[in-house]
Structure 1
Amino acid sequence: MTITQNIPDRDLLLCDVNALAKPVIISLVGAGGKTSTLFWLAGLFCDSGRRVLITTTTQMYMPDPACPVTLCRDPAQLPADFFQSPLMACFSGWSAARGKVRGFSPELIDRLIAQQDLDVILIEADGARGFALKAPAEHEPCIPQSSRCVIGVTGGGLSGKPVGPDNVHRWAHFAAITGLNAGDRLDLPAMRRLVQHPQGLFKGAPPGCRRIWFINRVSHFENQHTLKEMLEANDVDVIWQGAVQETPPITRRVVR
């Protein structure tokens, strides 16, 4: 097991996008910081000269005004010059009352693989209604099958604290997967069950994609032996630990 402190090389942080066919689709699922992580990654890739498209297969908050937003029925039908900007966002519609935009089906996003003018497509592929933890319902998440990387986000602030329907989205699903009862304290073995369960954090992730577990708002877990076991058992490929809204956002990266 290798542990890297602070932000590693931006290519190694995810995957070497220069070595992969473009565009590289990266989907974010889970709870506790997906949107913040998506925008941080967008900035990281743009700073390295890549052209980035942001969208969603569910709903998400409207991007910062500095990011150009286009509304359309099918992003694959947009003219080629649309994809020349360093950073773009594309959605099917938006609700002014909620401040959220609606995205596209995973199948429509899969069609963007033919758009060679893009380098990276970042997808918010899950919803959590502001909760720090969740387990997916039957219809969730909505991951494009062309995703080369799936990042499962969990909020680390509940580690060691009692959990239940007041602080976990889809509590019934979460309890069934982790074996916890309302009021039990969240521990790393329970989180491992969420990560490794076929109906858990990485439910619907395409075969062969890179799975990254991002434990947001926590510097590190003391029980590194469990993390090592998870990597050796191929539960995930990489584990990030950090706080995406702080500097640096990733304080520890654990790989096999």
Structure 2
Amino acid sequence: MKKDILDILDIKKNDIISITGSAGKTSLMFYLAKRLRDKGKVLVTTSTKIKVPKNDEYDFLYTSKKDYKRPINNKLVVIGKLIKDKNKLKSIDKDILLEKIKDFDFTLIEADGSRNLPLKYWKDYEPVIYKETSKAIGIFPIKVLGKKPNNDFIYNYEDYIRNIGKDIISKEIILKLIKSKPGIFKGFEGKKIIYINQVESNEEKEKAYDLAKYLKDNLDEVMVFYGSILKEEYYEN
């Protein structure tokens, strides 16, 4: 059934949402941030690293503690430490972040990296999901289904092959990835959500529907939905 993504995710004020996985984390984070700005003050940040966003993606960007100003109305604010010569932001100290979060109605945290590759296997230190997170969204792109594993599109390919194998990527493989250690949610005990992304064609909708049903049947206490950020269409079985 087609739904609004904010209704699917049931985002409430003071939610802290961490986003992990591959193929669309940053796009989803800023899409949600812009939607939520109509409802309150929004903080966007990272617990690892993200690219410095474009000027039209935020209202204010703060890269140092001394420059920060508390928003007085509905604004989209990005906070991070600038990595010189790399056009990237890294996480600020967690204690400082938790203080800043109090100034906002909604917080979105990119908690994972994949070097823009569509699939990954997590290293021991990934993802970085703070325990204060209320919801964690793990992303998989539908376009990897049916592909043979390859170093060209899998981040941390060696560990992927060692732990998952060389079989064609199927719904069973996606389930195995979700259940792997450290895994897409790495010890997180709050609300877990799987988002199947890049679902644009009718064929991909059929595949995503089938994958979503399979994952829901085989995962406890995990919500699954699918859709396209590009087309702004989202579905829940």
Structures share fold, TM-score greater than 0.5: yes
8 Å CA contact 2:17–2:136 kept in 1: the answer is yes
8 Å CA contact 1:213–1:238 kept in 2: the answer is yes
Asked if 1:137 is matched to 2:123, the reply is: yes
Asked if 1:26 is matched to 2:17, the reply is: yes
* Change over 3 Å in CA distance of 1:223–1:212 after alignment to 2: closer
8 Å CA contact 1:73–1:92 kept in 2: the answer is no
CA distance in 2, matches of 1:212, 1:74: 36
Q: 1:126: how far off? A: 0.7
TM-score, with structure 1 as normaliser: 0.80
Asked if 1:8 is matched to 2:4, the reply is: yes
How many residues were matched structurally? 231
Alignment match, 2:91: 103
Asked if 1:228 is matched to 2:206, the reply is: no
CA distance in 2, matches of 1:162, 1:200: 21
Percent identity over the alignment is: 23
Q: 1:215: how far off? A: 1.3
What RMSD in Å do the two structures reach over aligned CA positions?
Answer: 2.5
Segment drifting more, 190-199 vs 142-151? 190-199
Q: 1:16: how far off? A: 4.1
Alignment match, 2:43: 53
* Change over 3 Å in CA distance of 1:70–1:210 after alignment to 2: same
8 Å CA contact 1:58–1:104 kept in 2: the answer is no
Task: Write out per-residue CA displacement over residues 161-217 of structure 1, whole angstroms, 9 at most, x where no aligned residue.
Answer: 111222100123323443x21xx3211100011112342222232x1x111111111
Unaligned runs of 5+ in 1: none
CA distance in 2, matches of 1:109, 1:83: 18
CA distance in 2, matches of 1:223, 1:14: 18
SS at match of 1:204: coil
* Change over 3 Å in CA distance of 1:240–1:83 after alignment to 2: farther
CA distance in 2, matches of 1:126, 1:217: 18
